Amino acid sequence: MLYNIAMKPLHGTALLGGAFDPPHAAHIQMAERALRLGCERVVFVPSANPPHKRCTADFADRVAMLRAAIGDRANMSVDVIEGGDGGVHYSYLTLPRLVAKYGDCVFAIGGDSLIDLGKWKEPDKVIAEVPLLAFPRKDRDEQFAAALEYWRSRGADIYADDFTPDGVSSTAARYLASMRDYSALSPEVAGYVEAHGLYGWFTPLADKLKAAVLPKTYEHIKRTVVCALGLDFECGLGLDPDKVFLAAMLHDCAKKICREPHEVSRVPADSVGSEVEHQFLGAALAETEYGVTDREVLGAIACHCTGKPGMNTLDKLVFCADMLESARDFDGVGELRLLIRRDFERGFRACLMRSYDYLIEKGADIYPLTLRAAEYYRND
């Protein structure tokens, strides 16, 4: 999609703000892109205490990770203007100070930030201060285009690039790091994260899970985690990310594992030996083996295959993430991914009915709870 009315080369300093918790591939891609578009240098401005985000690595670690990510690139640097004072710093106040320091500036922001610009403090002062360079967000084309039109109508000078950074969000990168997967990070940042033990809260659980399930199941689990965290953010669900992570990470903890005889008693008798047994056993093991006590997390695991009448948002999210994770390639998956980002409820219903129809087509035995869920959401 072409967003720019007239292409004009950029110049001056590209300011790239964010939490950088941790800095990941897309941040460096955006910086390199700003240079290719004509900017002479990129200054990363890590936020001390992002007003709308809960930070999990402290300021000094985030600055050190940024410096590691930049390496010896001469035209990139870090400005610690926001300092580590623990206070809240708003862009509309920081930007004039940066412009005074660097002169001609463009404020580079990710597509999600442009879509959420209305939630910022004094967004009109932000757009009056500097031109913006915004990068579209994969799967959020419509929201991005709408935000672009809206802010341009309010006088914003926005250079909307046609380049889409890839890679996962910082949130997903943190939780993947917890699972000892540093693929979203540069080797230098990964080294820092490992050496300083950052983002390790769930590592013991992840280690245990990895030892228990098949390697291909573990890979599917990681993709489901990324998909669930992404959908939670992109659909504006506002769920607790720890709950989203735990439910997604443990949803298949009982998939194709060797079940102990005594564990059979933990699942409904009519599910024993069936495809859906692992959702019930998974919820039981999440509690007894992995120490999860949160009823919502356990509940989401316990219905991730079948669905059920009256699902809550976390139940629906895990159900859909399991179905829409990036390696799924069934007919219509692309449409479902777009639909759910436009309208979570409609997307969820479409996912549920798609999985039900698939079972019908296959001539499979349909588990009673699946049937009840399909009836409930078809008529609801």
Sites of contact with Fe ion (CB under 5 A): 252, 322
Nearer CB in complex with Fe ion: 234/322? 322
Nearer CB in complex with Fe ion: 192/202? 202
Nearer CB in complex with Fe ion: 158/302? 302
Identify the DSSP state of 186: -
Query: Parallel, antiparallel, or unpaired: how do β-strands 105-109 and 158-160 relate?
Result: unpaired
Identify the DSSP state of 366: P
Q: How far is the CB of 233 from Fe ion (least distance, A)?
A: 20
Beta-carbon count within 10 A of 100 CB: 9
CA distances 106 to 12, 130, 355, Å, are: 7, 6, 46
Question: What residue ranges in 79-150 does DSSP mark as E strands?
Answer: 105-109, 132-134
Angle at 256 between CA 254 and CA 262, to 5 degrees: 60
Nearer CB in complex with Fe ion: 114/301? 301
Q: How far is the CB of 283 from Fe ion (least distance, A)?
A: 11
Nearer CB in complex with Fe ion: 54/362? 362
Q: How far is the CB of 237 from Fe ion (least distance, A)?
A: 19
Question: What residue ranges in the chain does DSSP mark as E strands?
Answer: 13-18, 41-46, 76-78, 105-109, 132-134, 158-160
Residue environment code for 340-374, b if the CB has 16+ CB neighbours within 10 A, otherwise e? bbeebeebbbbbbebbbeebeeeeeeebebbeebb
Q: How far is the CB of 305 from Fe ion (least distance, A)?
A: 5
| Sheet arrangement for strand 76-78 | 76-78, 41-46, 13-18, 105-109, 132-134, 158-160
Q: How far is the CB of 251 from Fe ion (least distance, A)?
A: 6
Q: How far is the CB of 322 from Fe ion (least distance, A)?
A: 4
* Rounded Cα gap, residues 248 and 322, in angstroms: 8
Q: How far is the CB of 280 from Fe ion (least distance, A)?
A: 11
* Rounded Cα gap, residues 331 and 214, in angstroms: 26
Nearer CB in complex with Fe ion: 232/322? 322
Beta-carbon count within 10 A of 1 CB: 10
Measured between its terminal Cα atoms, the distance across the chain in Å is: 37
> What are 38's two structure tokens?
């004509």
Which residues are bridge partners to 133 per DSSP? 108, 159
Nearer CB in complex with Fe ion: 79/252? 252
Nearer CB in complex with Fe ion: 120/218? 218
Q: How far is the CB of 55 from Fe ion (least distance, A)?
A: 30
* Rounded Cα gap, residues 373 and 279, in angstroms: 15
Which residues are bridge partners to 76 per DSSP? 42
Nearer CB in complex with Fe ion: 112/325? 325
Q: How far is the CB of 373 from Fe ion (least distance, A)?
A: 15
Q: How far is the CB of 61 from Fe ion (least distance, A)?
A: 33
Nearer CB in complex with Fe ion: 34/276? 276
